[in-house]
Amino acid sequence: MTHVTSVTLQGVSYQLPDGSSLFSDLDLHLDQRRTGLVGRNGVGKSILARIIAGDILPSTGRCIRNGSVYYLKQQVSHDPNHTLAELAGVQTVISALERIERGSSVQADFDCVGERWNIRQQLLDQLSRNNLAHLTLSTPASALSGGEAMRVALMGAFLSQADLLILDEPTNHLDRQNRLALHTQLQQWPNGLLVISHDRDLLESMERIVELSSLGLTSYGGGFSFYAQAKAEQLQIAQQQLTSARLERKRQEHALREQRESLERRQARGQKQAADTNQAKILLGRQKERSQASSGKLRVQQDAAREQLSARVRQAANQVEEQQAIVVYPPQTCPTAPVQIAELINACLPQGAEQLRLINLTITRGQRIALTGPNGCGKSTLLKVLAGQLPVVAGLAKTLVTSAYLDQHLGVLAPDRSVIEQLQSLNRQLSEGELRTRLAQLGLNADRIHLPCHRLSGGERLKAAMACVFYAQSLPQLLLLDEPANHLDLPSVQALETMLNQYSGTLVITSHDEVLMAAIGITHKLKASSTGWLQTPV
């Protein structure tokens, strides 16, 4: 049985703690249609989702909900104290159920459980069906890979049976097989659905796309292809109208200037003729007064005409979305590295699939290695070993050059420090003004670079981490990237591609974004197979 879902936003606005407006006067109605929410990084998509879910209140306006809402945020918990059940969002129900089983008669416990008496077995069944039967409800969330954590969080979301399900970047960290499985689940989901994503394949399956931009909320029927075409046509028309309004203002300005110059010439001729005919001073004074009155009247009329023309230009400009181009600076050349960059000899990895624990690997200067394989096979573990963050259980693991590791949780960033503060500590050669300019052109504006990094959006945090690596005074000779395109909008992904193509060092990267991998000049693939790790040239 399906539920009648209805969530309505009326005049919703949200102000940031510094008083600046993130968005204003938004109206939206969500129903049973599968809806995709898109927009540039930092525009406020996640804040809007939290308002819809009731996690936070809007600064002005209201949100009317008919039914329950479940919001799965894009950054799933990796708190070392959390368990798998907490990650799935069912621990409070299980705890209430356990208290009832011990004899509790507290009404709040029964209200918490509701109809979910079988929630433990339901989650265990989901784990088994998703090839995660080796996990238990008490497994530490920190022991899961990024893909496993997202899959568990998604299981909890679907088990909620909410009237409206909100998923924020749900395909982040998922391999291709699990992305396809998610597509199928969403097609079969019987209730309301709002998906925030930059995943074009996922958005293609939506029945409606809603875009949040500087213009507010705009709704488009159909999936991503329809949205992209309609958006391009809309932008073209808006640009044409703006160009036309500016040309008309320029033409009319020229006509107004000629009109005023013509009046001034007539007045000058009249005054000269009056002077030549020796008219009385009183008559000359009256004629001058009339001329001044005519000039004043014309000035008022022309000022009103100019304001009307400028208003038309402003009106046309308001229909053109503010889009800041992403600009990247070429990173400096890496210091000369030895031929051998890193080596693993009979190394036993501390985590990962059993057949992939043992690895022999030599990485040489200039290689660009794509690390491929399903979620949970050990890709992130291998990157952490190369970064020196995890020791091997046995064998030898050595990295012979300076390295930088961007993990899925961006541990390179101190959450309580601002990006400008951290970047200044990494590069003392460039002035603060130069660093601010580089951050701004990367898409991090002045009102964001002084915030603690934990207050930035996922995309903004990744840009901040990229800046701390590529704009540091000393560029690492080995770059290790774990799903770097997660949380980035399309222009930012293209900026990342540019940065990686300009990077002259050695690269090891894992990503499920096949377009990105094809664009950055991969030289070798290191694939997780049923018989172990296999390295092949591209």
Between the ranges 277-281, 361-365, 371-375, 462-466, where is the mean pLDDT highest?
A: 361-365
For the segment 237-256, the average pLDDT, to the nearest whole number, is 73
Kindly indicate the confidence band of residue 18, based on its pLDDT and cuts at 50, 70 and 90: confident
Gyration radius of the chain's alpha carbons: 31
Kindly indicate the confidence band of residue 398, based on its pLDDT and cuts at 50, 70 and 90: very high
Name which of 89-103, 148-162, 208-222, 244-258 the model is least confident about. Answer: 244-258
For the segment 234-257, the average pLDDT, to the nearest whole number, is 73
Write 515-524 long-range contacts (CB < 8 A, 24+): 516/484, 516/485, 517/370, 520/368, 521/368, 522/368, 522/369, 522/370, 523/366, 523/367, 523/368, 523/369, 524/367, 524/368, 524/369, 524/370
Give the number of other CB atoms < 10 A from CB of residue 94.
20
Mean pLDDT of the chain: 84
Q: Is the pLDDT of residue 91 over 70?
A: yes
Give the start-end residues of each E strand in 269-339.
none
Name which of 255-264, 273-282, 418-427, 439-448 the model is least confident about. Answer: 273-282
For residue 52, which phi and psi values (nearest 5 degrees)?
Answer: -60, -40
Name which of 41-50, 163-172, 307-316, 330-339 the model is least confident about. Answer: 307-316
Residue by residue, DSSP assigns 325-366 as: PP--PPPPPPPPPPSEEEEEEEEE-SSS-GGGSEEEEEEETT
Q: Collapse the DSSP code of 237 into the 3-class scheme (helix H, G, I; strand E, B; otherwise coil) and give the result.
A: helix
User: Nearest CA to 480 among 393, 416, 388?
Assistant: 388
Q: CA 211, CA 338: separation in Å to the nearest integer?
A: 49
The per-residue pLDDT for range 267-276, each reduced to its tens digit, is 666 666 655 5
pLDDT score recorded for residue 233: 79
User: Nearest CA to 189 among 204, 206, 209, 169?
Assistant: 206
For the segment 389-417, the average pLDDT, to the nearest whole number, is 90
**What percent of the chain is predicted at pLDDT more than 90?**
42
Q: Is the pLDDT of residue 280 over 60?
A: no
Q: Is the pLDDT of residue 2 over 50?
A: no
Q: CA 16, CA 46: separation in Å to the nearest integer?
A: 13
The 3 state secondary structure assigned to 50-81 is HHHHCCCCCCEEEEEEECCEEEECCCCCCCCC
pLDDT score recorded for residue 201: 85
Between the ranges 124-128, 144-148, 372-376, where is the mean pLDDT highest?
A: 124-128
pLDDT score recorded for residue 289: 59
Kindly indicate the confidence band of residue 206, based on its pLDDT and cuts at 50, 70 and 90: very high
Amino acid at 514: E
Q: Is the pLDDT of residue 56 over 70?
A: yes
pLDDT score recorded for residue 330: 67
Q: Cβ neighbours of residue 482 under 8 Å, at least 6 residues apart?
A: 146, 379, 380, 383, 405, 406, 407, 408, 509, 510
Name which of 99-103, 118-122, 302-306, 429-433 the model is least confident about. Answer: 302-306
Q: Is the pLDDT of residue 287 over 80?
A: no
Q: Is the pLDDT of residue 285 over 70?
A: no
Q: CA 52, CA 63: separation in Å to the nearest integer?
A: 7
Q: CA 66, CA 75: separation in Å to the nearest integer?
A: 27
For the segment 72-76, the average pLDDT, to the nearest whole number, is 82
Q: CA 538, CA 523: separation in Å to the nearest integer?
A: 5
pLDDT score recorded for residue 272: 61
Query: Which structure tokens are listed for 211?
Result: 């875009």
Contact predicate 414/361, CB 8 Å:
no
For the segment 22-48, the average pLDDT, to the nearest whole number, is 91
For the segment 222-235, the average pLDDT, to the nearest whole number, is 82
Q: What is the largest CA-CA distance in the chain?
A: 117
Q: Cβ neighbours of residue 52 under 8 Å, at least 6 residues apart?
A: 7, 9, 30, 63, 65, 69, 71, 164, 166, 194
pLDDT score recorded for residue 153: 93
pLDDT score recorded for residue 354: 84
Contact predicate 224/204, CB 8 Å:
yes
Name which of 76-80, 85-89, 246-250, 447-451 the model is least confident about. Answer: 76-80
**What letter would DSSP give residue 109?**
H
Q: Collapse the DSSP code of 484 into the 3-class scheme (helix H, G, I; strand E, B; otherwise coil) and give the result.
A: coil
User: Nearest CA to 95 among 84, 86, 105, 107?
Assistant: 86
Using CB atoms within 10 A of its CB, is residue 187 exposed (0-12), middle (13-18) or buried (19+)?
exposed
Amino acid at 191: N
Give the number of other CB atoms < 10 A from CB of residue 475.
19
Q: CA 269, CA 124: separation in Å to the nearest integer?
A: 98
Q: Cβ neighbours of residue 510 under 8 Å, at least 6 residues apart?
A: 370, 371, 372, 379, 380, 383, 481, 482, 483
The per-residue pLDDT for range 474-496, each reduced to its tens digit, is 888 999 999 888 777 777 788 88
Q: CA 316, CA 424: separation in Å to the nearest integer?
A: 41
Q: Collapse the DSSP code of 222 into the 3-class scheme (helix H, G, I; strand E, B; otherwise coil) and give the result.
A: coil
The verdict on pTM exceeding 0.85 is no
Q: CA 399, CA 397: separation in Å to the nearest integer?
A: 7
pLDDT score recorded for residue 278: 57
Contact predicate 513/497, CB 8 Å:
no
